[in-house]
Structure 1
Amino acid sequence: MPRLSRIPLLLGVCGLALTPSLYAGAVDLSHPKVVCTQQPKEKWIPVKDMYRIAESKGYRISIFKISNDSCYEIYGFKDGTVVEAYFDPTTATLIKQNIAK
């Protein structure tokens, strides 16, 4: 499996490739630090399983990473909208979702 945090985002028809740092600018990131769990990483759902769970919930994933040492963070699309989503890595529960403006 490739390192998911290094996969560039390809946006629709225009084929514009954005790096993760540029892509993050498309979402309002003016929020406080998100904490999803305090459980040890041994209790986390494996990344490949969480990736599949998120896809089954309708997310088209462009970037998948661990953030704040407590969340699985996804950048991608849901229902045709650009999103940044934070999930509890122990339960796959959506904790917070930011939608591009």
Structure 2
Amino acid sequence: MRKILLLSLIVASPLALAGPQCTTEQRAQWQDPQAFQDQLKAQGYEISKFKITDGNCYEIYGFDKDKRKVEIYHDPVSGKAVKTEIKG
């Protein structure tokens, strides 16, 4: 029984860490990554890390305008936040 539980946890682990699916639009429809980051910076965000996820999101790590540490997934077409995690 323990082996089955352990195996199911190992198999499910990557799924638990997966981020959201943000869009199925072609990349030609996406906002320019640098222009998108510049817009966020103009709103007071400090971006420490920016990446494009497997779920077709723009993901940022950094600080919001209130200096709270955040991880935010954005739809790269609309720019809207799909998932926000405030870390502190």
Question: Scaled by the length of structure 2, what TM-score is found?
Answer: 0.73
- Unpaired runs of at least 5, structure 1: 1-29
Q: Which has the greater radius of gyration?
A: 2
Q: Distance in 1 between matches of 2:44 and 2:24?
A: 26
Question: Scaled by the length of structure 1, what TM-score is found?
Answer: 0.64
Q: Distance in 2 between matches of 1:97 and 1:82?
A: 11
Indicate whether 1:48 and 2:34 are aligned: yes
In structure 2, the residue matched to 1:88 is 75
Structure with the bigger percentage of helix: 2
Q: Give yes or no for contact 1:37–1:71 (8 Å, CA) kept in 2.
A: yes
% identity of equivalent residues: 35
Q: Deviations over 1:63-89 (max 9, x none)?
A: 011012410000000111110011110
In structure 2, the residue matched to 1:3 is none
Moved over 3 A (4+): none
Aligned CA RMSD, in angstroms, stands at: 1.6
